[in-house]
Amino acid sequence: MTAWYLNGTRITVVDLKEAREIIIAKLQPLSEGTYYQTFGNIKPVFTLTAFVVGTADKTAITNLATYSDNGPYTLTASGTEYSYSADFYVEKVDFQWITSYAQNFRPDKSRTDLIFKAAITLDAV
C-alpha cells in the first residue's frame, strides 16, 4: 500500500482529482471576426479525499491551510506500486468526523483515535 504524507503528516488517500484551466477571452472587434486570447498558464489544482487519524494530525493539516503563506508544503507518496513528490500550497481543507468504534488505518495510533474524512484542495507551485 502507498504511504501518503502532507508536510510530514500521514494521510490515507482514497481519491485524487486533478483539474487544469486557463483564462480565454473572446474578443469581437467591430471591423473583423472573433478572436480568442489566452492568458497565463494556470497551474494544476489537486483535490484529495483522505482519511486523517487523530486530532493532532487533523490540527496539523488544518494549520497548513491556515498558514498557507508559509508554504509551499510537500506531498509525498511512496510504496511498491507508486512514488510521487511535489510542492503545493494548501488552499482549502474540509473535515467530516467519521463515527467508528475502532480505527484500523494507522497501527501506530490508538485504536480509539477519532477518524476524519478530509477534502484537501492543493494548488501546484
Rounded to whole angstroms, the Cα distance separating 113 from 60 reads 15
Looking at residue 120, its pLDDT comes to 95
Looking at residue 6, its pLDDT comes to 93
CATH pick for 3-19+26-124 out of 2.60.40, 3.10.450, 2.30.29, 2.40.30: 2.40.30
Looking at residue 69, its pLDDT comes to 62
Note the pTM of the prediction, 2 decimals: 0.78
- Regions of the chain where pLDDT drops below 50: none
DSSP 13-33: EEEEEEE---EEEEE--TTS-
Sequence ranges of the domains in the chain? 3-19+26-124
Looking at residue 107, its pLDDT comes to 87
Rounded to whole angstroms, the Cα distance separating 108 from 42 reads 39
